[in-house]
Structure 1
């Protein structure tokens, strides 16, 4: 079967007229008429336009005449289960809980050391790079 005959078959299977087919793929109506009459051969540009507008058409069928006219759609499931994953053994171990008790004596010592200390001096820095120093009790 020649490519002209395959294009004619495509047009009839899609229930289109040659005029409507030309409009869909975006070519001159006379171009389709000349191809179907055998006057001209389909150009690469025309074949690309057909395949772009009719993505279900098999490019191998359109170009070479081999295979089926329409691509067979293989529907894949999103989460196919592989047999290897069924053989994996999963061991669930209970979590180990450790008791974290705070050392209260350390905190008490720190509090006592802060309370026992006295302020020696306070320095305030200003944005203009000057500072003031305060010494308590003086």
Structure 2
């Protein structure tokens, strides 16, 4: 059985280890911010999907430690903290563009500004209708 209080402490350890706020952590594992808030406050227990997203996004988190508190965090592999990202630095550095790929701005035709029209200036009251509780009404037209 998952001890919610102990799980919350382990989750707070993860947030502190990665120097993340609850909202940035929620964004990182792709869950709603309210989910993190509810788990940290003890209102809800974490779902299996939530736990698996943590394990997938943060390789230093030992799944057994996260669930039971046994084992160690970070994992004993002595790896520095890292967060899975969609592109590695090597992939990003291979995206070098030559100057020929960059469009050269040309002089744009100057478009004259549209004259401002205040929509309230043209508005006048055309008709006022008063409805009574007995189902009758009175209509007053502009004179």
Counterpart for residue 138 of structure 2: none
Structure 2 distance, partners of 1:10, 1:74, is: 16
Q: 2:47 aligns with which of 43, 46, 71?
A: 43
TM-score (norm 2): 0.50
Q: Give the alignment of 1:77-116 within 5 angstroms.
A: none
Q: CA deviation at 1:9?
A: 1.1
Could you tell me which residue of structure 2 aligns to residue 64 of structure 1?
68
Cα offset, 1:67, TM superposition:
1.5
CA deviation digits over 1:97-119, x for unaligned, max 9?
Answer: xxxxxxxxxxxxxxxxxxxxxxx
**How big is each residue's C-alpha offset from its partner over 1:48-102, in whole Å with a ceiling of 9 and x where there is no partner?**
0000000111111101001211111279xxxxxxxxxxxxxxxxxxxxxxxxxxx
Query: How far apart in 2 are the matches of 1:74 and 1:34?
Result: 32
Distance 2:69 2:75 in 1: 13
Count of residue pairs brought into register by the alignment: 75
TM-score by length of 1: 0.52
Matched with 1:5 is 9
Structure 2: distance between partners of 1:38 and 1:58: 22
CA RMSD between the two structures: 1.6
**Which of residues 25, 33, 37 in structure 2 aligns to 1:33?**
37
Specify every segment of 5 or more residues in structure 2 that has no aligned partner in the other structure, as ranges: 80-143
